Structure formats: C-alpha cells, structure tokens
Structure 1
Amino acid sequence: MRRPRRLAVATAALLAAGLTAAAGASPAQADRDRPHDVHPALRSHLVAFYDFDHPVEGDVALERDQGRSGTEIELINGGSAMRVPDQAYKGSGNALQTRQVNPEVTGNDDWKAGTWSASGVRTLRAFSGAEGTTVMGWFKREMDGPALNSTTANPTDRFNAIGLAGVLTGDSDGHGVRALLELIDVNGELRLVALGRRLDGGNSQTFAASEDWRTLLPKGEWVHLAATYDFTTGTMALYRNGEPVDGFYTRNDDPWQVSGPGPHVTTASDPRGIKIGGSFPQNTLERNPCDCRMDALMFLDSVIPAGDIAKQYRYMAR
C-alpha cells in the first residue's frame, strides 16, 4: 500500500499524462509505446515492465512501469539502494537487488518489491478474466537454498521456497498468486517451477522443471527465465534462455477446473498486486525471500508462443 505522499505523486503523473495526450504525442510517450529492449512481437501484450532504471520523480523508492498499465511498484525496505549497477544483458543498466536482511528477528525488513491493494490494483485489470499470462525476466541467484525462516522460533527452520516474480490473485493475502515463477520444494527436492491458479480461492497447479535447479540457475550467473500459463487448456510451460525446459505437473487431476464447459478464464477480479523477491508486498509478513538480482521483469496478458520467447531472449542477448 502506498503512503499519501506517493498517491499524490501518482495523481500528479496521471494529470500530466492527460495534458500531454491533449497536446499531442511527446517523445516520452513515443518511447513508452515502444519500450526499450522489448521485441515487437511482445509489445502489444506487455502489461507491466520494470527495468529498474526509471525511478518515480519525487520518490526514488518507486519504480515506473514501462509497459502499458502504468503500475508503479515499490522497492520495499531498501528503496533506491536496491537499484544496483549490474548488466543482465548488453544494454541494460541497473538491476534490482532483493535479499533477506535479518533471519534471526521476526520483523518486516527484507528487501523485496511489488504493489498491493485490498480492493485490487485497477491498472492490472488485463489479468482479470484472462485466457493466459506470461511472466519473464532475468535472474541471478546469490543463495544456496531457501532462507532461514524468520517467522518461527526454530533457529534451523527454513522456508520451503524462493520467490522470484508473479501476479497475485484477486483475493490474495499477499502470498496467493495467479501466475508465479519461483523455486519450491517438490516432493522433498527444490525445483524451478511455474505455479498458476485460475480461480480466486481455487486450487493451484505447478509445472516443475526436471533438471536440477542449480544447473538451471547457476549461482552468480544471469539467466533469462519465462513461464506461460494457458488458463483455457490448463497447461503451463517453462523456458530458460529462450529454450523450453522439460518438466512435469505435480497434480494429475483438474485443479483449474477446465474439464467442464467454458470459457475457461481467470476470475473476473483485479489482481491485488505484484510480488517480486518474496511474498506480502504490503510488508506485513516475510516469506520465501530471494537473495537475488533481477532485471527486465515482464508481465504479459497472453500466452507468448515459444518462438516469440526465443526472439525476446535473442533480442536482449544480441
């Protein structure tokens, strides 16, 4: 949730955008229509895009959206210090640093990013009643496994997952998601997964990578990851550096309830936000922190074909 000062900044920005539209397109708008480092095949589907080179004027703890939605996200607890100079790909600038701060204290000081609203984030309405979603970005792992659990008294207890990036459901408490990239325990083994939920309050399905997560995400190395969620067919896919990743579903029933008559789309509710590098972007609880760097995070309102995901990777890695 944003503080009143931030709401004032956002309101002023919206008013300024309206005045600019009345006067005619400006160079800044032209740049917004053609976001930097996004392949043309993806641009019309790009709801939100964060490259961490665009702080909000007047509040550097907020990051501007380079997609069409204009959804600002907050760099939680670390503010501008979370923008670090590190090139995920040629032509990139800053990256986002997320991390656990104090695992020995029950508190809310972990570095993570995102936005949250109990009434739903209206600018993310493209994910309401959606047939599909894609989440992608660049990630650099800096940890050897899930972090120590800062919410329990057991000093050796660890979380069961490492959160990367995702879109929340319309009834989320800050943890529940419609579409999420993460590393999570699957039958006692940590795996890279795409986790999705079609219906608010409904069951999730997980598509887990077969290959060892440490091979897919080598420590200290930038890797491009993408996950697609087809809510019409109940299928998901994972990609690494533009190539499909072999995997398996963790459930063999029908958690998304797509076997009956359609149309099969997500619940017609605005997502309550976006979470990056951990859960609860309203900063009320710590869970699944990621000691990671991230860049060029994209949230799209359709299932991007495998060929276009490969094009996007090559477009950035050229």
Structure 2
Amino acid sequence: MPLPEGEEMDTRPFFAKRNDMMVNILKNMRNEIAVAKQRDENNQISNLSASFTKLWEVVWDNSQVTLDTTKEMARLYTTGGTHWFVKMLIGKLNSQVYSEDVSKCGDMIFSMMHIDLPACTLSLLINTIPSILAGDGEMESLCYPAGNALARLTVHCLAANIKIKTSGPYTTKKRKFRSVELTDLCNHAFNPASKMRKLSTSDKIIQAGGQTQEQLITQAHHSLYQLFHQICTDSSKNPKLEFVYAFIEQCIELDNEDCSALMSIMPASLLYHLIRMEPSRFSPHCLLRIFDTGSQQGRRNLLTGLCLLRNITPRTPVVK
C-alpha cells in the first residue's frame, strides 16, 4: 500500500518488531481492563442479589410489604435495573414447592412489580417469558404449580396495565423522557440474539423510538400471542403448550371487560389449534367469554369454534 505524500517509510532497525510489540501490549492492557471491569460488575450484581435475598426473607417472614421494605426494594430496582429485578422475582417464584406458597409468592411479586408496573410488565413479556419458552431460561418455571402462577402473574400484569394506561413508576412522581426510557428497555431486549426474534415470525419488533407507554404495552401484548402461535405449531404436548392453556384459563377467570381486553387480539387460528389438541379443556361458556359477540367477526369465530368443539368432543351414548 503506497504511503501518503510527504511521508517516508521508517527504516530504523527492528521497527516492525517494535510496532508488533506495542500493539500486543495495548491489546493485553485492553483485555485486562475488560476482565477487571467484568469482575467488578459481577461482584456488584452478586452483592445486589444478596441484598435482595435478605430483603425478600424479611418480606416473606412478615407476609406483607411495608413502606420501608418498599422503599428499599425500589432502591434495589433502580440500582439493578428492570430486567435484573424481574429475573430475581421470578427466581423466587420458582423456589417455592407447595401450591399455597406459590400462590402467596405470586401475589407478593405482583405487589412488588408495582414499583414500576409498566416497565416490569414489558420485561416480563419481551425478556423473561421468551427466554423461558425458548429453553434458555429455567424450564421449571413452566411446571406445576409455578407455571400456573407465572401465567396468572402475566395475565394480571397485562390487565392492570390495560386498565391503568397512564400508570407511572413509584420511584418518582414525574419522570422525564418516560417513553424514551421504556423504548430503550424494549430495544435492549430485542437485540439480534433476542429470544423473541427466534420464536416469533412477526416483523413488528419493538425497536422504533418515540412510542408511548400504551403503544409499547400493546405491541408486547401482540408479540406474546405471536410467540404462542409459533409454539403451538408443535403438535406434541409439552410444558410450553401447558403454559399457553394456563394463560387462557387465567384470562377467562377475569371480569368480562378485562377478559375481553386481553383476548380480543388473540388469533382465532391459535384457539382452533388449541381446541383440536385438547377439546376437554374448553366449553361453550369458555368460548363465549373468549370471543366478542358484539362484532360480526367475533360471532363468526365463535360459531366456528362451537362447531369445531361439537365435532371433536366424543358424544356420550344414550342408554335406553
């Protein structure tokens, strides 16, 4: 490669060797700094996790979240970040064995997520659940009774965000650039190695800026159903499919308004596939709760579902 005008090649002895040595020294220095930085970050996360565990034990023993514990939990949330906070909470849910303890733990987690419910819900929908369903997370989260509790937690978080569209974080009364903060949270989860990208066939990934909190929640809601649809293409029964059934069953237990808000965007083809897989888990009453009978398309989907359920469900012979 020719040298720029006005410059001459360095002809001093051993220049190439000195140059290579200097490059290697700089590379080693950079690697040592990176390793030290990573070690410090791991130590900070370890100390933060230990503080969270200690605080959780206090809350668990008292069976309630006091004002002091809420403030301390909010401090840990601010320090560790949303993804870390939700991961720690779900880890506590998986650590429970008995159904009563799992139910109690789920309620406590739901109350703690109100420190910043929209951000925690987004992290749950676009980071935690896709990781678990992709097999990269803790698969025991999908087993009974933790799987049902996780589905119930997801449903209640979504319903609360849809009902209270402008809910803000507990940490500050008014936070500037709230939409930018939440969008950055979503973009961090939707990186090129994102689990949702692997599982979802949708191209509508939450990466654009300037979106409102309500729009981000809506997009995450759509992406969750697209993720469910991708999972259900596998005809075998597995814990992932069981989680989808549990999610729908938890939606049906909500009030009519909340159930309609959560189920209105569910693809009809997804429900038809679930009916074919396990028709015994559905009834005409369930289908009436799922589909919107106030719209023409909803009535058509309901009729199709009822006919499918009637044709698949075995009839009981009449004894004369």
Please report the TM-score for the alignment, with normalisation by the length of structure 2: 0.29
Q: Which has the higher helix share?
A: 2
Whose RCO is larger (CA < 8 A, sep 6+)?
A: 1
Please report the TM-score for the alignment, with normalisation by the length of structure 1: 0.29
**Based on CA coordinates, which of the two structures has the bigger radius of gyration?**
2
Q: Which has the higher strand share?
A: 1
